[in-house]
Amino acid sequence: MDASERPAGTAELVEAARAARDRAIAPYSKFRVGAALLTADGHVIVAGNIENASYGLTTCAERVALLKALSDGHRTFSMIAVVADTAAPTPPCGPCRQLLWEYCGDIPVIMANLATVTATLQLATLLPMPFDRRLL
């Protein structure tokens, strides 16, 4: 997808995610990720990943941003940007995809590095057969 096809506000959201990446806490892997989640009413919720010595308790930037937004009362979302210092697109992990699907639906996921947008995909493309309330 070229720049003219990206959702409006992509550049600003990516910049917010880049700034959030600078505040990530990744002392073990050194793999810092930033996320910026846009609410339907225009708020931008930012977060970086937060690691600890027990890797299983590490929390991804996307989940931190989503949980911050939900705990602040936001319930509808327009898109998310994810930034990492990689040449290839860095998509959300499986647990992040599941939570984003449940609370955000089929939003655009903008993946970028420190210089450019590397990919923009709908969440349904990243999570083609989601488990959600339809199956309960």
Catalytic site positions: 62
Q: For the chain, first and last CA: distance in Å?
A: 35
Distance CA(61)–CA(99), nearest Å, equals 12
β 77-84/44-48 pair status: unpaired
Beta bridge partners of 37: 45, 80
| Tokens describing residue 54 | 């027990």
| Tokens describing residue 116 | 């450019």
